[in-house]
Amino acid sequence: MNTAEFIWMDGKLVKWDEAKVHILTHSLHYANAVFEGTRAYKTDKGLAIFRLADHTARLLKSAKMTILNVKYTQKELEDAQVELLRANKFNANVYIRPLIYLGYGVMGLAHTKAPVNTAIAAWEWGAYLGEEGLEKGIKVKISSFAKLNVAGQMSRAKASSNYLSSQMANYEAKEAGYDEALLLDSEGYISEGPGECFFIVENGVIITPPNDNSLASITQDTVITIAKDLGYEVRRERISRDRAYVADEAFFTGTAAEVTPIANIDNRQIGAGKRGEITKKLQDAYFDVVYGRNPKYAKFLTYIN
Q: Same domain, yes or no, for 234 and 156?
A: yes
What is the number of other CB atoms lying within 10 angstroms of the CB of residue 293?
13
Supply the pLDDT for residue 214.
Answer: 84
Q: Of 118, 24, 109, 108, which is closest to residue 63 (Cα–Cα)?
A: 118
In the predicted model, is pLDDT for residue 271 greater than 80?
A: yes
Q: How many CA atoms lie within 13 A of 82 on its CB side?
A: 16
Q: Same domain, yes or no, for 190 and 235?
A: yes
What is the count of structural domains for the chain? 2
d(CA 215, CA 211): 6
In this prediction the pTM is 0.95
Is 77 a domain residue? yes
Is 147 in the active site? no
Burial (CB count within 10 angstroms: exposed 0-12, middle 13-18, buried 19+), residue 40: buried
Q: Same domain, yes or no, for 116 and 176?
A: no
In the predicted model, is pLDDT for residue 305 greater than 90?
A: no
In the predicted model, is pLDDT for residue 258 greater than 80?
A: yes
Is 176 a domain residue? yes
The SS3 call for residue 165 is helix
CATH code, 187: 3.20.10.10
- Per the CB < 8 A criterion, the answer to whether 262 and 250 are in contact is yes
d(CA 245, CA 106): 49
pLDDT tens for 93-135 read: 999 999 999 999 999 999 999 999 999 999 999 877 777 888 8
Q: Same domain, yes or no, for 246 and 102?
A: no
Q: What is the mean pLDDT of residues 276-288?
A: 97
d(CA 157, CA 173): 24
- Per the CB < 8 A criterion, the answer to whether 141 and 157 are in contact is no
Q: Same domain, yes or no, for 71 and 142?
A: no
In the predicted model, is pLDDT for residue 151 greater than 80?
A: no
Q: Same domain, yes or no, for 144 and 284?
A: yes
Q: Same domain, yes or no, for 38 and 187?
A: no
- Per the CB < 8 A criterion, the answer to whether 34 and 62 are in contact is yes
Is 253 a domain residue? yes
**For residue 290, how far is the Cα from the chain centroid?**
15
Supply the pLDDT for residue 196.
Answer: 95
Identified catalytic residue from 158, 280, 281, 296: 158
Supply the pLDDT for residue 180.
Answer: 97
Q: Same domain, yes or no, for 266 and 150?
A: yes
Q: Same domain, yes or no, for 168 and 273?
A: yes
Q: Same domain, yes or no, for 117 and 188?
A: no
End-of-domain residue from the set 90, 108, 124: 124
Is 305 a domain residue? no
Supply the pLDDT for residue 139.
Answer: 97
In the predicted model, is pLDDT for residue 81 greater than 90?
A: yes
Beta bridge partners of 253: 197, 259
What does R_g of the chain's alpha carbons equal in angstroms? 19
Supply the pLDDT for residue 181.
Answer: 98
Looking at residue 230, the DSSP 8-state letter turns out to be T
Q: Same domain, yes or no, for 103 and 177?
A: no
Supply the pLDDT for residue 5.
Answer: 98
Q: What is the mean pLDDT of residues 273-301?
A: 97
Label the pairing between strands 138-142 and 116-124.
Answer: unpaired
Q: Where in the sequence is the domain holding 87, given as residue range(s)? A: 6-124
pLDDT, the chain, mean: 95
Whether the CA torsion 8, 12, 17, 19 is positive or negative: it is negative
End-of-domain residue from the set 84, 107, 124: 124
Label the pairing between strands 116-124 and 94-102.
Answer: antiparallel
d(CA 223, CA 234): 10
pLDDT tens for 190-225 read: 999 999 999 999 999 999 999 888 888 999 999 999
Is 302 a domain residue? no
End-of-domain residue from the set 124, 145, 179: 124
Supply the pLDDT for residue 273.
Answer: 96
Is 114 a domain residue? yes
Label the pairing between strands 197-202 and 249-254.
Answer: antiparallel
